[in-house]
Amino acid sequence: MSATVGAGRKTRTERAERPKRRRRRRWLSWTVVTLLAFWALIRAGGLETGSFLTQLMTVTPHGAVLAALTALLLARRNRPAALVAATACVVLAACVAPRLTAEEQPAASGALLRVLTVNLFSRADAATVVDLVRREAVDVFTALELSPEEAERLDAAGLAELLPYRVLQEAPGAIGSGIYARRPLTELPDLFTPIGHNMPAAALTLPGGAAVEIVAVHPDPPLGRKEAGWNTALSALPPAGTTGAMRVLAGDFNASIDHRAFRELLERGYVDAAAQVGKGLTATWPNYRPVPPIIAIDHVLADERMAVRRVEVVDVPGTDHRGVLAELRLP
């Protein structure tokens, strides 16, 4: 008798708990989908402000996947919430999907320019970098986080013979940067005002007489109070222009296409080389860590008058960034 009574009480308790569990699940479901909806709204409208939302935009491709999974999980339990999640997924996917398909390129039959950019982390494997330069016949190499010691290691590995012309602003830690080239360089100290790390600019002339200006880009990351400086640094970069020398910006932008500030930079006459060939979602950071690369913040931006022929994202031991190699054809 007592066992039967005990079982009855347990059953009544379980029945009382079920509505509570359903309410908790419902509350959690709507909390998640509401956050996903706000994420989609902020990304689509370019409404991010402050450090947290700016960093959140970097992982927007993963947000689209999260929204899709949420919609699937809620499809049977909470259809209205699933519909909201599915809508967020569609919006986020529409923002990132174009980077998966190659774009039609402008007619170009001029000189070929091969650009390599690598954030060296002050200790990248010099032999690997030099081998890349040699194998890919690189014309211009922008080096970020270039320390004096790393510059010496690169030359000792043979970079001085392959790319003898350079404009270097090496420095300890993350500050240093440099431009190495196969042809003579002319430094452009007044092209723009760098904000953040060293960002040298230089001009070179290619076979046939075409002039190209190169900027090694490396603003501070948008972390905490540095977010305002990051925004200002991107807006201070020079536009591509419509006449005269063409410009290429190459480096660690600490930004992705999902950032409004980066898209505004593109609107000033540039294209993202990787996105042009359908590789715009190939992640470049962090590399050689327990977590595989998850965000694309290293870029080669080409003057929109150039044709992007090929882009490769390459691994370089010793640094937490992957390098980007872009083959550009001038008009």
Give the mean pLDDT per block of 10 residues along the chain (331 residues). Answer: 53 63 84 97 98 98 98 94 98 98 95 98 98 98 98 98 98 97 97 96 93 97 97 97 88 98 98 98 94 96 97 97 98 91
Torsion of CA 154, 184, 136, 316, to 10 degrees: 30
What is the pLDDT at residue 183? 97
* Sign of the dihedral defined by the CA atoms of residues 70, 76, 81, 84, in that order: positive
Of 87, 85, 89, which Cα lies nearest the Cα of 74? 85
What is the pLDDT at residue 1? 47
What is the pLDDT at residue 6? 54
User: For residue 183, with 0-12 CB atoms within 10 Å meaning exposed, 13-18 middle and 19 or more buried, which class applies?
Assistant: middle
Q: How far apart are CA 316 and CA 143, in angstroms?
A: 12
pTM value is 0.92
What is the pLDDT at residue 64? 98
The single residue listed with the structure tokens 């290619």 is 206
107-329 CATH choice from 3.40.50.1000, 3.40.50.1820, 3.40.50.300, 3.60.10.10: 3.60.10.10
User: For residue 53, with 0-12 CB atoms within 10 Å meaning exposed, 13-18 middle and 19 or more buried, which class applies?
Assistant: middle
